[in-house]
A and B are shown apart, each in its own frame.
Chain A
């Protein structure tokens, strides 16, 4: 970085005044929130949220709660990765929760096992010919569902020029309809052993591993590839991107297709982990994913944010939800507070943008 510190054309530039990465602020917010819950826990419950308070010698952490927080966050987090790049490109995706529902139903029906404890599968969707299939079949079917839904979103947004809000709202309703219609509202259960591994493998850590791998992959893609650069460019000035020769329409189709595919991965993990698929799966996940991204510093006006931020946002989200449960707060309050957090994060984002415009 030394070569930029002298500035161009004789202008001095103080390298120590380098802009503070936003991710650091979010990390500090995470720490602050943990501290608040620890303090409340000590005062109200006489317990610690994340640290061991049972006086064991083998560990300083409360692993059980940490595991639950991370696991809860992982599945929605996979969706949030896709939503993050959509928001950075200046769009929004409201359909991801419904895509989870539809994909879980369709994929699960290709993942069923023929015999359950020696009896025929009571929830069978297809005949025996389509049961006990290799695990790759439901995986591919699921990915294809998500990809297709994402492509429809992208094509509508890029070529009919309807706002992303409307296009993905349509997909949200449609995909939920498909999820209900697929088995006439019946849950689909009893997957093969192999399918169960997707959500339960590695001693239950499989969803977390999938989330972390995807997060690292997309952090890299957004920062170091042409795809990432163009996503930021379109989000910060679509007209400039177009004038610079970026094929904006084609790029948007790709952005939404990837978001749909990531929602499908989340559906595979979730249905596998629960060993069942229901039409109501993933309700409100789209909003949780958007909340994670926004808390993580992804700007709803586009062009700003990162996957690292979203991962931190997801952890903040998880700690708050878990913290409320820990404080024995009613689930109703949790929803209300969740809404407040989303609005608060957006207000904070607006406020962050304002002073910088006049700073120059």
Chain B
């Protein structure tokens, strides 16, 4: 991983400078400086209410930040809505799955960006065949196991749903994938399946931000751990230079990273 730590700004995919979000008087996120490089997998950890999800909501356009800059792929951006972020190449697997229960797998993968074979405004005619073929490719790429593509999401297990949601991010060659607690509600086997997808993304060199409470998972999957506490970043740790106890110390406030002393 040392190769990725070179001070070359060209390989930075996402950077936030002084990113701040206030809900009225509440400082949900305060001066977050964050860097993600190409091919890097970073975990965001922290207690409930530490600002993890708030941070993600700012960079995915779900909410508008109060102050600061987001630089994505070399350009300063301000996403008006989640679709803007998606079009720019940020794919998010939300904590609440954004799937339509009554539709099948290809329908969900292409929801909001259907392939059409005949343009006619809202009455454009769908290209089911092309969508199914690309779905098969995407699922094979991620190693997702779905018995029947035609099945509606309603008939699927939690793990399969999660896999469909993740496969959706992989279908569109995203520049950055964000997963907000992707395995929080899953069983052991299903968690393993999701983790396998994450490893596949790593092999393919696709950058990822993973929000997780699961220490084992974080140490298994990512290169770097960023800890949030009370709306601030309090640590930026290389996986190989830290351990679980150390991370817990940062999460609980027993310790604060040197470079963040003044912030905390």
Q: Among the interface residues A3, A13, A240, which one has the most CB atoms of the partner chain B within 10 A? A: A240
Query: What is the bound-complex CA distance between A312 and B107, given in angstroms?
Result: 26
Q: Which residues of B contact A8 (CB under 8 A)?
A: 136, 139-140, 144-147, 149
Contact of B157 with A by CB under 8 A: yes
Q: Among the interface residues B123, B140, B143, which one has the most CB atoms of the partner chain A within 10 A? A: B123
Q: Which residues of A contact B143 (CB under 8 A)?
A: 9
CB pair B123 A360 closer than 8 Å = no
- Using A232-B103, A236-B101 as known contacts, say yes or no to A246 and B149 having CB atoms under 8 A apart: no
CB pair B126 A225 closer than 8 Å = yes
Q: What residue in chain A is nearest B87 (Cβ atoms)?
A: A245
Contact of B82 with A by CB under 8 A: yes
Contact of B215 with A by CB under 8 A: no
Q: What residue in chain B is nearest A244 (Cβ atoms)?
A: B112
Query: What is the bound-complex CA distance between A245 and B128, given in angstroms?
Result: 20
Contact of B98 among A232, A240, A356, A360 (CB under 8 A): A240
Contact of A63 with B by CB under 8 A: no
Q: Which residues of A contact B263 (CB under 8 A)?
A: none
A355 to chain B, nearest CB (A): 11
CB pair A227 B146 closer than 8 Å = no
Contact of A226 among B81, B98, B123, B139 (CB under 8 A): B123
CB pair A4 B132 closer than 8 Å = yes
Query: What is the bound-complex CA distance between A225 and B144, given in angstroms?
Result: 28
**Which chain A residues numbered 269 to 309 have a C-beta less than 8 Å away from chain B?**
302-304
B95 to chain A, nearest CB (A): 12
Q: Which residues of A contact B156 (CB under 8 A)?
A: 360
Residue-wise interface mask of B (106-120) relative to A, using a CB-CB cutoff of 8 A (1 in contact, 0 not): 010001111010001
Contact of A4 among B102, B103, B125, B149 (CB under 8 A): B149
CB pair B147 A13 closer than 8 Å = yes
CB pair A225 B125 closer than 8 Å = yes
Q: Which residues of A contact B100 (CB under 8 A)?
A: 232-233, 236-237, 240-241, 303
Contact of A357 among B94, B103, B154 (CB under 8 A): B154
Query: What is the bound-complex CA distance between A13 and B114, given in angstroms?
Result: 26
Provide 12 A-B residue pairs closer than 8 Å at the C-beta atoms, listed in order of the A residue. Answer: A9-B139, A9-B146, A10-B145, A11-B145, A11-B147, A225-B123, A226-B114, A240-B98, A245-B82, A245-B113, A246-B111, A246-B112
Residues of A within 8 A of B (CB): 1, 3-4, 7-13, 18-19, 221, 224-227, 229-230, 232-233, 235-237, 239-241, 243-246, 251, 254, 302-304, 356-357, 359-360
